[in-house]
Every structure is written in C-alpha cells, then in structure tokens.
C-alpha cells in the first residue's frame, strides 16, 4: 500500500512513527512554511523533526530538536551580543549548516533533505512540498512577523489580524511530490495545525486539485479536541482565519478533498455536522500517549 502523509511538526511526527511501523510504502510530504533563516543558516523545523523522529533522535519531550543536544554555539552567539530566542542546538545546527552549504552550491531543498535523511538512515522519502521559498507570515499587534517570531519570540501572545503564505502563489509543487501523490493508494493528512502546517502545503498551486481528483482515499486525523489543539497555536490562528477552532472547522477547511476524518470521541456531537460536509467521520480516542496509540490510530486511518 502506497501511503503519502502530509505532515507538519510535533503532532505529525507522532503519527508518522505509527505509520512507519506498519508494512506500507510511506512517503512524507513536509510543510516548508515555517522554514526560517537565523544565525546564518536555513532551519526547516517540520522537515527536521520528521527526520529526527524517524531516525530515533528527536527530543520528544520538547517536540523539536535532538535529544541530549547542547547549546554551546548559541551561548557564544549570545556572548557576542546577538539575540538567541530561537534555541537551535549544536547538533541540530550541523544539519542546518550542511543544508545551507548544499543549497548555496545549487542543490535543491529536496536534494539537501534527501542527503540528510539517508545519512541518518531514515528509510522513507521525506519530501518538501516545494523547492521554492514559502513563508508563513502573520500581521500581528507586534507588526508583520514570521511564524517563528510570533510563536517562539513572542510566545504566541500578540493579537493576530491576518495570515499569509508569502511566495506560495508562485511556488511549484515538487516533481517528486506530484509523482508520489499520483501513485498513492491513500493520502493521510497528519494531525497538524491546519493554518500553519497543512495550510502552506495546500497553498501550493495545483495541490488541492490533485487531492480532490485523486482516486486514493484522503483521510485526516483531527488535531483538535473540543476547541483545543493537542499542541501549538491552532485555536488562535483558526479564529484569525475565520474558521471554527474545532474538528468541524478542520473538516470544513479540508472538505474539498477529504473522504474521511477521525475525531476525538469526546467530540462525537460534531459527527453529524461533519458528515453533512460529505466527509465520513469516525470517533475514537485520538490522544497519542505512546507507541500503541500511534499505531492504533495509523491502522484506523488506513481503514477509514
Ligand atoms: N520552538 C520553540 O518553542 N522554541 C525554540 O527555541 C525552538 C527552537 C527550534 C530549533 C530548531 C527547530 O527545528 C525547531 C525549533 N522550535 C522551537 C520549534 C518550531 O519553532 C515550531 O514549533 C515549528 O516550526 C512548528 O511546526
């Protein structure tokens, strides 16, 4: 079974671990909207957490970076008087340095990612949705900011007036992503922030039409329980986009292409509303507390 998973950060990585343990042919399509230039390097948080998680290196308590990483470079940068609110670890920085170097020499983000995942012995393709730069930007009460500035520097506190995916309109879907989607038997939308993780993927011209026209079933695991996401700023950002911050809102955002969705059993009252959108809805315990949950939910996603 060829499965393509559309993935963002922490929540996605947990589900990917479950999918990765099943006997399927898995390809991960990663968000690039949270990619960020800092300390002279190109950081790709969603790509990197996917690789670190599948390589068994991730710091699973933080949800980003490498377990046991040190912060020597960052301490010295701070000593030199620069801001260090973005806590990029030493080993994590190594991947970012190599990626920056490869891309300066003319390699694509796809090529640099392929090299890293192979070196770290991740046995499934991790594909950035596009090789063109796309940036999730927010107009907030602290000005026009990158997603990382809003979330990490400002702690997600400022008021959010609008959100845009800078560069998305002119970005081209990567050829490898297009071919993985064309060959897929099933497409899984991971439990990720629909605005900052899946939104930038869907904003790449042509992608949502490919999903809508695909003969593969497209299924999602909702990242929401009630109006709270399992992690991150989904509630605030869905509201800012005029969406209901719950599983109905998520299903509505994806309804153009979604065949089925798994939502929390505590939200079973939302089921009827979701089915009215033409989306088959299953309720179960959607919390991922460990490998059993990750695998159980992965299996349900392949059966919906
Ligand atoms: N998130 C934080 O909340 N604080 C950090 O200092 C931080 C550092 C960081 C370094 C590398 C990396 O790849 C991710 C990092 N993240 C950090 C996570 C990241 O900002 C977001 O959670 C994701 O972009 C959301 O998908």
Alpha-carbon dihedral of residues 10, 94, 177, 184, nearest 10 degrees?
A: -50
Q: Is 244 exposed, middle or buried (0-12, 13-18, 19+ CB in 10 A)?
A: middle
Within 10 A of 179 (CB to CB), how many other CB atoms are there? Answer: 12
User: H helices of 137-230, where?
Assistant: 147-148, 175-183, 199-202, 207-213
Residues in the chain, overall count: 304
Ranges in the chain, pLDDT < 70: none
Residue owning the nearest CA to atom 8 of ligand 1: 87
Q: How far apart are CA 123 and CA 281, in angstroms?
A: 32
Q: Which residues sit opposite 2 in a β-bridge?
A: 25
Ligand 1 geometric centre to CA of 258 (Å):
29
Atom of ligand 1 nearest to the CA of 86: 6
Best mutation site among 7, 33, 152 for ligand 1 pocket (most ligand atoms within 8 Å of CB) = 152
- Per 3-state DSSP, the chain is made up of helix, strand and coil in percentages (nearest 5) of 40, 20, 35
Return the pLDDT at 163. 97
Query: Rounded to 5 degrees, what angle do the CA atoms 205, 146, 148 make?
Result: 110
Residues in Cβ contact with 221 at an 8 Å cutoff, skipping those fewer than 6 apart: 15, 188, 189, 190, 191, 261, 262, 286, 297, 301
What pLDDT score was predicted for residue 229? 86
pLDDT of residue 47: 98
C-alpha closest to that of 261 among 216, 202, 219: 219
Pocket of ligand 1 from Cβ distances under 6 Å? 8-9, 34, 43, 45-46, 48, 64-65, 86-88, 92, 148, 151-152, 197
Atom of ligand 1 nearest to the CA of 148: 20
Q: What pLDDT sits at residue 165?
A: 98
pTM of the predicted model over 0.75: yes
Q: Which two tokens stand for residue 236?
A: 């605030």
């Amino acid at each position: 079974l060829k499965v393509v998973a559309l993935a963002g950060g922490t929540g996605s990585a947990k589900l990917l671990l479950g999918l990765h343990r099943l006997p399927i042919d898995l390809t991960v399509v990663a968000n690039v909207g949270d990619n960020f230039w800092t300390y002279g390097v190109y950081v790709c948080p969603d790509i990197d957490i996917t690789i670190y998680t599948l390589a068994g290196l991730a710091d699973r308590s933080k949800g980003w970076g490498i377990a046991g990483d040190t912060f020597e470079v960052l301490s010295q940068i701070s000593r030199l008087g620069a801001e260090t609110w973005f806590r990029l670890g030493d080993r994590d920085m190594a991947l970012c340095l190599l990626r920056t170097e490869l891309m300066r020499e003319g390699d694509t983000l796809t090529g640099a990612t392929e090299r890293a995942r192979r070196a770290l012995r991740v046995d499934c393709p991790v594909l950035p949705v596009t090789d063109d730069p796309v940036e999730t930007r927010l107009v907030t009460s602290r000005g026009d900011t990158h997603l990382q500035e809003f979330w990490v520097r400002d702690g997600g506190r400022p008021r959010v007036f609008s959100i845009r995916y800078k560069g998305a309109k002119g970005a081209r879907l990567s050829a490898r992503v297009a071919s993985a989607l064309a060959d897929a038997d099933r497409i899984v939308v991971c439990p990720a922030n629909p605005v900052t993780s899946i939104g930038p993927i869907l904003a790449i011209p042509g992608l949502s039409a490919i999903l809508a026209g695909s003969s593969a079933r497209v299924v999602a695991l909702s990242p929401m329980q009630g109006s709270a996401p399992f992690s991150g700023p989904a509630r605030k950002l869905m509201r800012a986009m005029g969406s209901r911050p719950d599983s109905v809102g998520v299903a509505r955002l994806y309804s153009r292409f979604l065949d089925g969705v798994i939502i929390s059993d505590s939200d079973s009252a939302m089921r009827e509303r979701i089915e009215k959108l033409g989306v088959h809805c299953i309720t179960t315990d959607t919390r991922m507390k460990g490998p059993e949950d990750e695998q159980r939910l992965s299996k349900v996603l392949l059966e919906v």
